[in-house]
Chain A
Amino acid sequence: MKKQLILNMAAVFLALFMAWLFYYESLDLPKVAYQLPRMLTYLITILAIILIIESYLKYRKTTEEVQEEGIMVRRTFLFICSIALYIYLIDFLGYFITTPLFIFGSMYFLKATKIRNILYVTIGFTLFVYLLFVRFLHLPIPLGPLS
């Protein structure tokens, strides 16, 4: 349960950080605008302290380490990074270059299915999005160099 404790502490830290960042931002605001946010800051602080105590007590009681098995950390991490990169690049390369790259790249990396099927999915979905969103709905999707 040690891992759970660390994660809980991370959550507490994140919540407190957010709450006090918002508190700091509220300093310049008029009263009607800061009332509720400040009350929330106090509430979050109290709840965070309770959570610290709660998880500390839980951690003391249980001694055995329960391992959450089977998570492929490297693969998961790389997948998350590839999503981030994909979204980041939309602004520069345009949606219709990054999307097929992402579908093909991530499925190939995950060894999702046969290459031929991956190609089908890549082309199919890109075409589907193009027809529906650009051709029919006329959404201003960033096209990048393709525009």
Chain B
Amino acid sequence: MENVLLGLTNVLNLINIVAIFAGTAIGLFVGAMPGLSATMAIALLLPLTFGLPPATGISMLASLYLAAMYGGSIAAILIRTPGTPAAAATVLDGYPMAQKGQAGKALGVSLVASLVGGIISSIALLTVAPILGKIALQFGPIELFAVAVLGMTIIGSLSQGSTTKGLLAGAIGVMIAMVGMDPISGAPRFTFGYLQLFSGISFVVALIGLFSIPQAIRLIEKDIKLQKANKITDKMLPTLKELKTMWVTMIRSSFIGIFTGLIPGTGGDTACWFGYNEAKRFSKHKEKFGTGYPEGVAASEAANNAVVGGALIPTLALGIPGSSGTAVLMGGLMVHGIMPGPTLMTEYADVTYTLIWAVMLANFAMFGVGLLFTRVSVSVTKVPNKVLAPIIVILSVIGSFSINNSVFDVGLMFGFGLLGYFMDKIKMPTAPMIVGLILGMMLDNSFNQSMMMSQDDYLVFFKNPIAATLLAIAGLSILQSTPLFGFLRSKLIRGKNP
């Protein structure tokens, strides 16, 4: 308790507050730029924090990480290109909202949801981190396999319109995820001799291609004036009445985000889909999802910001990074001479609790800076389509290049862009493919590991309580969607016997 208060007094120091605001501003910008990731920004800014006291430097980087999660939704909503992988699910409802002339509202909902998710997860971090941290250790290959299977069921619910096309897209996504060195045997799979494919196709490269290139082409293919400069009269912040309809979703997504963050190996990119899917499952208006429904934006944005606190829990309580972003943060602690590990909350309590309070404070900084930043960025919707299209292209090119500093990846991104455009033309949804891409590797790897650990006993998944529970939920999700299958079958039979 003493440490908690000490942390609070430490953080309310002018230099720390300035650092938090600076981190937030950079995070918003980095998040909004497709291809620039929080992980990369943290790594590049790390040396610049050497001159600062450890708590200040790390607080700045943590607020950057948090703000980037919201920043990702800005590009997702305005130009249909997620700025970070964690904002991929935000596109589904965010962009249609912008098309209806509600860009400001979409960003406002996203900002409020991010704030709620961030605060709930910061509270969890401050109060119950040591207890929750233990959960992270409960997730080994067997449990991770069940998580991956559960994630795969999202594909079904994302396949509105044509279930077959959705499933097909999902299967192709998993297949593409298989490219690269097989982690079990070390054999290169489907690399066609290209060294650049040995580590697999970078998920962000595929994401940028699938979303942004088709969007750029769509903007110029017709001369019709798409949603001409609808004067931004809509209020940014949602009204209390609107909030009332969304608060359950936001809180649910926040908890989903915390737990997804806790599990090593899953982060914001997974959490946004889980949050979105559960919001849809429990909603009375399932059909509105995907058409520009604010709740959809809130669901994925609350989840991805809650990941930050969630991922920091095992990092600070046990020295186990919960995501790639926190792994780099941990590296940052090391450079400052603090050995990350279970002693962080005791031996280095002053730094650790300052950091936790900084994350809390960063939420409010994000809200304030976000409001300003967003007000300006909404003007993107007034840029003529034909100007916007080439700009999207060059941003995608530099973004996909900067991930691995590879021109090969730029070509790959364009390939995915063509695929995305084609899929759009045949009305095949891209969202299931993205879920397949995220979880494909985890599915394959954790399955093989589980088999090795259990001497090829398939029942191992049902003997494990966590895995069995998760698989049961997955089974339930599949059952829920069977009316769809039934409907499909009846249609087929009717077609055969007219």
Contacts and interface: CB of A to CB of B under 8 A. Distances in A.
A137 B220 contact: no
A25 B221 contact: no
B132 interface: no
A54 to B, nearest CB: 6
A110 B220 CA distance: 8
Contacts of B422: 10-11, 14
B151 to A, nearest CB: 15
Nearest to A84: B414
A54 B384 contact: no
Chain A interface size range? 35 or more
B492 interface: yes
Given A4-B426, A80-B217, A80-B418, A70 B407 contact: no
Contacts of A76: 217, 220-221
B221 A71 contact: yes
Contacts of B220: 72, 75-76, 79, 110
B254 to A, nearest CB: 33
B168 A15 contact: yes
A110 B389 contact: yes
Nearest to A47: B168
Interface string B152-167: 0000000000101101
A5 B398 CA distance: 37
Nearest to B394: A99
Contact of B410 (A90, A107, A125): A90
Nearest to B224: A70
B5 interface: no
Contacts of A19: 175
Given A18-B172, A48-B168, A26 B221 contact: no
Interface stretch (B187-195, B262-270, B308-316): B187-195
Contacts of B100: none
B182 interface: yes
A47 B164 contact: yes
Interface string A54-88: 10010011000000001110011001100110111
A68 B182 CA distance: 44
Contacts of B479: none
Nearest to B218: A76
Contact of A30 (B172, B187, B407): B187
A113 B223 CA distance: 14
A47 B167 contact: yes
11 contacts: A4-B426, A15-B168, A22-B190, A32-B184, A36-B447, A37-B190, A44-B175, A87-B410, A88-B411, A106-B390, A139-B405
Interface of B: 44, 162, 164-165, 167-168, 171-172, 174-175, 178, 182, 184-185, 187, 189-190, 192, 213, 216-217, 220-224, 384, 386-387, 389-391, 393-394, 397-398, 401-402, 405, 407, 410-411, 414, 417-418, 421-423, 425-428, 443-444, 447-448, 488, 491-492, 495
